[in-house]
Amino acid sequence: MNKLITLNLTLLSILLSLLVSNLMWGTKISVAGLVERQASVLMPITNYSEYDSCHYPVKGGCLTASGTIASETTIACPRHWPLGTKVLIEDKEYTCEDRYNSNLSDRIDVWAGYGVDGYEKAKNFGIKNMIIVIK
């Protein structure tokens, strides 16, 4: 009986640890792996631009994973989030239209723009931990 209680406490401790870790860094645990809606989470935020991340240039701009052209409301989001997911960052709405490199941890990458200005903006932004709202 004591072994069963110890095992249950160990499992509970592991689950609690995962939950706290995921809430801090933005990965939300939910049924069927879908993103929880109306969730506020702390996530690392970076910026990207045409110069450092336009892998599919087309007439009119940079093609995103969703097939749209990158714009000021475009974000690259975690791969387990559905494309089209809306988020609020500092009261501005963005749409998950792109993906970032699979070797990076969960983060949001905000499109900073085209040309040298976009690149400089992205570079100067750095990495910031910010509260986002998943709509």
pLDDT tens series, the chain, 135 aa: 565 555 444 544 444 444 444 444 444 444 344 555 678 999 999 999 999 999 899 988 999 999 999 999 999 999 889 999 999 999 999 999 999 887 776 899 999 999 999 999 999 999 999 999 998
pLDDT at 32: 41
Amino acid sitting at position 38? Q
Sequence length of the chain is: 135
Q: 44 near 52, Cβ under 8 Å?
A: no
Long-range CB pairs of 74-79, under 8 A, 24+ apart, other chains included: 74/98, 74/110, 74/111, 75/108, 75/109, 75/110, 75/111, 76/48, 76/100, 76/108, 76/109, 76/111, 77/108, 77/109, 78/26, 78/27, 78/106, 78/107
Largest pairwise CA distance in the chain: 68
Using CA atoms, how far apart are residues 28 and 128, in angstroms rounded to an integer?
Answer: 19
Q: Using alpha carbons, select from 70, 135, 57, 82 the residue that is nearest to residue 109.
A: 70
pTM above 0.85, yes or no: no
pLDDT at 60: 87
Question: What are the sequence ranges of the domains in the chain?
Answer: 2-134
pLDDT at 4: 54
